[in-house]
Amino acid sequence: MDNKLRIDLRSDTLTLPTQAMKETMLNAGLGDDVFGEDPTVNILEEQLAGMFGMEAGLFCPSGTMTNQIAIKLHTRPQTEIICHKSSHIYLYEGGGIMSNSLASVKLLDGNFGKIDAEAIRQVINPDDDHLPETTLVSLENTMNKGGGSVYTLDEVRPIRQLCKETGLKLHLDGARIFNALVSTGERPFEWGKMFDTISVCLSKGLGCPVGSVLLGSQADMKRARKIRKALGGGMRQAGMLAAAGIYALDNNVFRLEDDHERAKALAVILQQTPFVKEILPVSTNIVIAELEQISPESFLEELTERNIWAVKFGKDQVRMVTHMDFTDQHLEAFESRLKLWKK
Ligand SMILES: *Cc1c(COP(=O)(O)O)cnc(C)c1O
């Protein structure tokens, strides 16, 4: 069989910028953003802040940096963050909570990577010299480790209310917030009202080569600029990159629906594939398959022999993520290659 077409589902960060996106980047107005003078960066920050009804934005090289800046904004040494035990900020940011902010973490469990107000309430530390002061709650939407699961506004409202009552800050790791919004039909500005800061990635499903934006109040973003400087994230003629972000917001948001449809189709095909025990519910563009009678390594080897690429994701799991460069042609090839696989 012809396996020439590479099917790369390891991540939605693998997308390459399209010709149209590259042309926009070439034609961007530029200046030195460390002086605040790159017009294209300023437009991107204002456009995204406007969409979410937040006062200001800060363009950064990565979602790790926007999250780490937010954590530094909302904590001090000896304070504590509450988040799900599978959060990106805890698992996949190189221990940055500790090294950048000298803060402690209280990890919660919860179905599909989600936490609720009641569970949070129970682990907020009382005022006591023995205990780190709780200052921040961080949510992730969509939740990567939860299989791209989605919070709804109705789930977030009680958490917002609790944070208000108890004086805690609330941060959203919205690396894939547009996947969540496209799936629920909720509006960005309704989400902006719920959080003190939101981190949005442009380099995932939106198809940009680089970039994330942190959103928040004018005062917080002023401090965030200084933190970004100290983390080494001040970029100069960054408008070339910001232009890709503007292009993506204008052209690549609503098409995320296609990625979600293809993820659902992938799940149906995988369900019939040898060694697949079950698939986590697919809400957006992430498909997590639970395996039986095979190691993830051997399963991935079987896939790569068919020129299909995925990643190991926990002890008995593999993850596939759909994205702009996974088309219907790739989906058809995926199906025909797996159909022939007999145990
Ligand atoms: C990808 C991702 C980030 C940020 O990653 P970068 O590679 O640093 O841009 C943050 N949170 C989640 C949930 C992610 O999936």
Atom of ligand 1 nearest to the CA of 64: 8
Atom of ligand 1 nearest to the CA of 62: 9
Atom of ligand 1 nearest to the CA of 67: 10
| Architecture of the structural domain at 19-250 | 3-Layer(aba) Sandwich (3.40)
Distance 274 CA to ligand 1 centre (A): 31
pLDDT at 337 (0 to 100): 95
| Strand pairing class (212-216; 308-309) | unpaired
pLDDT at 343 (0 to 100): 67
Atom of ligand 1 nearest to the CA of 201: 9
Listed as ranges, residues in the chain with pLDDT below 70 are 1, 343
Tens digit of pLDDT for each residue in 250-280? 999 999 999 999 999 999 999 999 999 999 9
Q: Which of 315, 169, 171, 334 is nearest to 264 (CA)?
A: 334
Residues with CB under 6 A from ligand 1: 62-64, 67, 88, 140, 144, 173, 175, 201, 203-204, 212
pLDDT at 261 (0 to 100): 98
The closest residue, in CA terms, to atom 4 on ligand 1 is 63
Distance 177 CA to ligand 1 centre (A): 11
Would you kindly state where each structural domain of the chain is located, as residue ranges?
Answer: 7-12+255-338, 19-250
The closest residue, in CA terms, to atom 2 on ligand 1 is 175
Distance 1 CA to ligand 1 centre (A): 36
186: number of Cβ within 10 Å: 17
The closest residue, in CA terms, to atom 3 on ligand 1 is 63
Phi and psi torsions of 212, nearest 5°: -140, 155
Q: Is 244 exposed, middle or buried (0-12, 13-18, 19+ CB in 10 A)?
A: buried
Distance 178 CA to ligand 1 centre (A): 14
CATH number given to 7-12+255-338: 3.90.1150.10
The closest residue, in CA terms, to atom 14 on ligand 1 is 175
β-sheet bridge partners, residue 287: 320
Name the residue of 10, 144, 150, 286 whose CB sits within 8 Å of the most ligand 1 atoms, as the mutation to test its pocket.
144
